[in-house]
Structure 1
Amino acid sequence: MPTLQANDGVKLHYEMYGPSEATPLILLHGFTGSGAVFKRNIAALSQNHRVIVPDLRGHGSSAKPKAGYHVARLALDLQNLIDECALQKGTIRAIGTSLGAAILWCYSELFSTSAFSHMIFVDQAPLQNYLDDWGPELGNRGCNSFGALQAMQKSLIETPRLAHLGTISACLGYRSHPQAGDPSPDSPEWKEDEAFFMEQAMKGEGWWYGKLMADHTANDWRYPIQQNFGPENGSTTKVLVVASSRSGCFPAAGPLRVVSLINGNEEQGLAKGVTISWGGHWCYWEKPELFNHLVLGFLA
């Protein structure tokens, strides 16, 4: 299991799959997850890519420092990973799911988009909190205010399993927006999914998770996205935005706003968006074949 030492000394776990000479594809997981959440996608994605899957600091098998609970620190960790793997700038592809998308936006603000030929953002709005010009039709359905953040932080520390169960319920589409034929609470799939995501989440520390969420929800990425990906910048990075009509985290309009920010409100541009209904916030886990097909079609 390879590890790298970030520039602040923290050890980060990552895994690599596929031909060493193939185009690199980095998979960035979300809040309380780990690289293991992509285990249903790696076989398909690594056929023609060198797939690189890190555990974010504070998550999975990476170190659990007291500091570093900032999206910017995670973006610098991504730069450290790119350097460690000696990836050729301009050829890198990346999928950022949820918090992973924010890491890519932050990376682009710090280092530009030039390292990446393609980016895919999965079900993350550029702003979680509600503001005068950003309300419930766009922002996060749950953690969207200081009061909601405080309640989440308290739960992550005092009742972590209950807090993580709430995350699982919001992120799996068959729980947040059940349909006929979906897994039921007494089904093996329901129980196995819950056990898996609970195990990943419990690898981290609640206080640290809460600090990270405070930073994550406070960031407004609308203007950085516009500046660093927009037509006036000269970025050539192609972008796919995946939103879900069954997400318990965001209404689809929130993540899709990224498309218009990148394209300068024009109908056509480097970014395109798609709204899926076959999964929720964790659609890549729920329907991996459909997700893999969507991703590989875009990357082709």
Structure 2
Amino acid sequence: MNTLLRPFQLAAAALLMALVMQSHAHAADKAAIQSHTADVNGVNLHYLQAGKGKETPVVLLHGYAETSHMWLPLISQLSDRRTVIAPDLRGAGSSSKPDGGYDKKTLAQDVHALVQKLGYRKVKIVGHDIGLMVAYAYAAQYPNEVESIVLMDAFLPGVGDWTKVWLLRDLWHFHFYGEVPLKLVEGRERIYFEHFWNDFAADRTHSIPEADRQFYAAEYGKPGGMRAGFEYFRNFEQDAKDFAGFAQTKLTMPMLVIAGEKASGQFLIDQGKLVDTNVEGVIVKGSGHWLMEEAPEQTIPALVAFLNK
């Protein structure tokens, strides 16, 4: 009997060992993502950092209604051969929330100052939503310091026929700032953000996960968080002027544009071609605006493949 049981015992032990090793590997991955802060460009920026290696560092920039937290699934896919940096933009998450400086040109200068402080001379940069505007402003101001750039679902103010973009169907929230709007959303941050998480998704039941919704609502509910978030939109008029000027000189580094089929789609790819001479476009089938959450099985491999070139 013992002879018959022996193979099963060995198999069970091997399976147990594999599960333990996998658990330790997941714990190590989580522990490898470190949280830091840095005083740069007159603000205190919180950022996540992971990985090391000789390949060009990657900077990941989040959008509105999210923070650096959105990039956790991607960080572990990129940090095996390079440093990955994911800051909370000025005004978001655990970064400071000053009265001004929410035009995307200044937000990009914040991130550039962080990169410089960390000692990196050149980066690859990725941005989603508001983050893509900051990524473009970074590349336009420091083109010799950007090896490649990724723009993920939103639009570039001031570039081409930008007022026809899909996201502008909800123009009301671009003007939603000041005393009364702040009083309306105080303590109701989750209700306000549900509009974006639900209505900008292809399927509201397959959008931002519940745990993340709770996390983001709490982050923007911190003192000054909602006011700062409103300022991202309030500055679009200035951004449009800045970007129209930037677009006069086309970028030449490789650019990947990833857009949701049910969101920005071909429009953002066409905008990318107006500002860069070397553009690759990917439309994520069946996805709305929240690419990382709605279609990670399409989005993450596309990002990894491009950034690993």
Does the alignment reach a TM-score above 0.5?
A: yes
Say which SS state the counterpart of residue 209 (structure 1) adopts. Answer: helix
Question: 1:80/1:166 Cα in 2 relative to 1: closer, same or farther (>3 Å)?
Answer: same
Q: Deviations over 1:61-107 (max 9, x none)?
A: 11122232222221110111111111123xx1111111111112222
Question: 1:19/1:225 Cα in 2 relative to 1: closer, same or farther (>3 Å)?
Answer: same
Q: Which has the larger radius of gyration?
A: 2
Residues 38-77 of structure 1 correspond to what in structure 2 (within 5 A)?
A: 38-77=71-110
List alignment gaps of at least 5 residues for structure 2.
Answer: 1-34
Match of residue 107 from structure 1 = 138
Say which SS state the counterpart of residue 144 (structure 2) adopts. Answer: coil
Correspondent of 1:170 among 199, 215, 222 = 199
Q: Deviations over 1:142-197 (max 9, x none)?
A: 443xx55334665454223332221222343321xxxxxx549xxxx853343243
Q: In the alignment, does 2:247 pair up with 1:226?
A: yes
Relative to the length of structure 2, the TM-score reads: 0.76
Say which SS state the counterpart of residue 235 (structure 2) adopts. Answer: helix
Residues 232-243 of structure 1 correspond to what in structure 2 (within 5 A)?
A: 235-243=251-259
Structure-1 separation of matches of 2:167 and 2:72 = 27
Query: Retained in 2: the 8 A contact 1:128–1:140?
Result: no
List alignment gaps of at least 5 residues for structure 1.
Answer: 176-181, 264-268
Count residues in correspondence.
Answer: 268
Match of residue 213 from structure 2 = 194
Say which SS state the counterpart of residue 227 (structure 1) adopts. Answer: coil
Q: Deviations over 1:244-263 (max 9, x none)?
A: 1123xxx4233122233035
Relative to the length of structure 1, the TM-score reads: 0.78
Query: Retained in 2: the 8 A contact 1:72–1:103?
Result: yes
Correspondent of 1:262 among 275, 287, 290 = 275
Q: In the alignment, does 2:46 pair up with 1:13?
A: yes
Structure-2 separation of matches of 1:120 and 1:172 = 20
Q: In the alignment, does 2:295 pair up with 1:287?
A: yes
Query: Retained in 2: the 8 A contact 1:28–1:96?
Result: yes
Structure-2 separation of matches of 1:214 and 1:82 = 26
Structure-1 separation of matches of 2:259 and 2:91 = 26
Deviation at 1:118, TM superposition (A): 0.8
Query: Retained in 2: the 8 A contact 1:120–1:239?
Result: yes
Say which SS state the counterpart of residue 40 (structure 1) adopts. Answer: helix
CA RMSD of aligned residues (A): 2.8
Structure-1 separation of matches of 2:282 and 2:293 = 17
Structure-2 separation of matches of 1:252 and 1:198 = 28
Structure-1 separation of matches of 2:294 and 2:267 = 21
More helix by share: 2
Q: In the alignment, does 2:208 pair up with 1:208?
A: no
Structure-2 separation of matches of 1:150 and 1:135 = 15
Structure-2 separation of matches of 1:156 and 1:206 = 7
Say which SS state the counterpart of residue 168 (structure 1) adopts. Answer: helix
Match of residue 179 from structure 1 = none
Q: In the alignment, does 2:76 pair up with 1:29?
A: no
Give the share of equivalent positions with the same residue, in percent.
24
